[in-house]
Amino acid sequence: MLRVVQSFALMFFIAVLVACGSGGGGTTANTPSNSGSASSGSASNSSGATPATIAAAITALDTTLPADPSLTLPAVCATLQATLMQSAFSSPTSTDPSIDANPINSNPDTAAIQNALNACTAGQAVKLVTNGALNAFLTGPLTLPSGVTLWVDSGVTLYASRNAADYDSGSAGFCGGAYKSGVSPPPSGSGGCKALIAVPAGATNSGVIGLGAIDGRGGSVLTGGPVLTINSTPFPTAGKMTWWDVAMLSKLTPTALSQNCPVLLDLTKGGSNFTMWGIALLNSPHFHVKMDSYNGFTAWGVQVLSPTLAYADNNYACTATGHTIRPTGPASGSPATSPSTCFTPDDIKNTDGIDPGGSNNVTIAYSYISDGDDNVAITASNSNSCVTLNPNNSFCSSTNTKIAHNHFYYGHGMSVGSGTEGGVSGLQVWDLSIDGKGSSNGAGLRIKSSATEGGSVSATYTKVCIQNEKQPIVIDPNYSSTGGSSLFPDYHDISFVGIHAVTLAGAKYPNSTNWNNVIDGYNASFMVKNLILDNVYFDTSVKGDPAWGNSAHPGVGYVSAAPNYANIVIGSGSTNFAIPTNGASVTVTGTTGTATAGNAVDCTSAFPAFSSVNPLAPI
């Protein structure tokens, strides 16, 4: 009952804040203005999104967070002492250490860890600890039983096997390979691989905690794996490619291969009340955390970091002697003849941070995430073991997701989609910083879908600082070039409150001259409805006024470099830039261009270096 009362109070508070900021309430965006100009409508109420009201909104939102998991850590059922040294995993090199060069030695600790997990009573934890100078474990795939927690203690690293054969999910030996679409059976993504840590269907109250690290070793040379046929030429992956090299084949070759690399933590079978606390997830070959159909998930104080300094230079320069990025071939359709030895986040495909799919009551808080794909992606495209089923189709809905007090770095931003068939609602993002480092593949706040995987999406973003991102805001219903269907993107009631895009020193890659935002609905029937911009301020001293772009697959009737099919409401906190109204079916209610630097969200301390919390971070 307390949670219900808190939620109602929060919704009321946010509704009041937005109503004050919109100069007429949430429904005004659905009403076309008389002139269609950015100056039409009224926003005379000045009590909207000011620093004071934004701070009050954050305080109210914080009352809905669950308790810090460190306050109630589980009892320990078994303590396992480390058997190896972390230094052995970088000798002679991190990419190809001698400790497990022979695949016979690929996972010496698997049995001991799995046996301890299996023997543990629900509600307790298996704890991995140091043993004098020994501070590492080496394992293959593990299954985390229902109710059991894996606790990786401070100073300990659990390393993953780099022998693809250890992860093979069947007899065909697909794991560690990249295959053309249509192979029978058709592996894709991680379909041919077991996860490093898998949680069975229906598990409840399991977790992965501790101040140690789990390292997927995505940049390490494979010691086992299939022989691929690429451009009619047999090619062994073992000794020739890393997990990330395999993944890049799917991106760079004209044959559109699909990689098979293991997920670090697999929660896709459905369950409830999974907890992550303190743990550092490093160098995943594929997704770091992939989740579907969970009712209750908390990630608190978690670090997701790929690549680490084991596979990169400081600031991801990758210019040191002997370092090579994709040494030969993939861009021209041929596999590399030797493994890459240095990686940037842009070279590690599909290494998403945390991706909750079709799940309810999800919290990601006080965490640091830097990777090669979406930092966080909220989806609703799964259809098994649904917590909440969309009544209009067979897909699971995503509801009540809280993204609070986090720091994102390299990656594709705070994303929704691309699959949103079941509908995404109750998404609250607050006190977020995103420092994209100027990556050409980066994005800030992004909602993406297409005509074959669309659904209802609503969300509120409150107090977000964005730095070195070419595209701070992206709303894209044409993320992929697909034909029409009944699953159209339906974006509505989306609020951006207290958003500040800044340009400070430190970008790794050059940006274009201007910001470039995308705000598009699908068509006149599926417009972006009631999109609220309240105190949205973009620094202009370096980058100039925002430019406007469109999807790479623009819809029918789109006007380029302008919002399309959108009803936009300007709150009394306003914006410091104009919004073009020459796009297809665009209305803007409220006055733009009056936001001031004094009222903008303060971002001067919003972007801590990742290395300030993890010495393995190149940034």
SS3 387: coil
Q: Which of 373, 435, 476, 493 is catalytic?
A: 373
Determine the pLDDT at residue 37: 32
Q: Which of 412, 490, 492, 500 is catalytic?
A: 412
* Token duo for residue 394: 């067979």
Determine the pLDDT at residue 319: 67
CA dist., res. 609 & res. 146, Å (int): 36
Average pLDDT over residues 113-141: 98
SS3 389: strand
487/254: higher pLDDT: 487
Sheet architecture: strand order including 414-416: 142-143, 197-198, 265-267, 289-292, 354-357, 376-378, 414-416, 445-448, 473-476, 516-519, 547-548
CA dist., res. 346 & res. 411, Å (int): 8
pLDDT tens digits for 190-243?
Answer: 678 999 999 999 999 999 999 999 999 999 999 998 887 766 677 788 988 899
Strands annotated E in 111-221: 124-129, 136-139, 142-143, 149-152, 157-160, 178-180, 197-198, 203-204, 207-209, 213-215
With b for 16 or more beta-carbon neighbours within 10 A and e for fewer, the 564-597 pattern comes to: bbbbbbbbbbbbbbebbbebbbbbbbbbbeebee
Determine the pLDDT at residue 1: 31
- Please, which pLDDT band fits residue 251 given cuts at 50, 70 and 90? low
Query: Which residue, 419, 430, 264, is CA-closest to 357?
Result: 419
- Please, which pLDDT band fits residue 69 given cuts at 50, 70 and 90? very high
Determine the pLDDT at residue 439: 86
SS3 105: helix
Strands annotated E in 503-589: 516-519, 528-538, 547-548, 566-570, 586-589
pLDDT tens digits for 269-311?
Answer: 999 999 999 999 999 999 999 999 999 999 999 999 999 999 9
Task: With a cut of 70, say whether residue 331 has pLDDT above it.
Answer: no
Residues 361/402, Cβ–Cβ less than 8 Å: no
Average pLDDT over residues 331-336: 49
Determine the pLDDT at residue 323: 56
pLDDT tens digits for 136-172?
Answer: 999 999 999 999 999 999 999 999 999 999 999 876 7
* Token duo for residue 39: 């100056």
pLDDT tens digits for 530-552?
Answer: 999 999 999 876 566 777 888 88
Residue 410 DSSP one-character state: S
* Token duo for residue 500: 């500040």
- Please, which pLDDT band fits residue 18 given cuts at 50, 70 and 90? very low
Average pLDDT over residues 118-135: 98
Residue type, 406: N
Helix and strand element counts for the chain (H, E): 4, 36
Determine the pLDDT at residue 338: 76
Task: With a cut of 80, say whether residue 332 has pLDDT above it.
Answer: no
The yes-or-no answer on residue 62 being catalytic is no
* Token duo for residue 116: 């301890």
CA dist., res. 560 & res. 548, Å (int): 8
The yes-or-no answer on residue 373 being catalytic is yes
Peptide bond into 200 cis (omega under 30): no
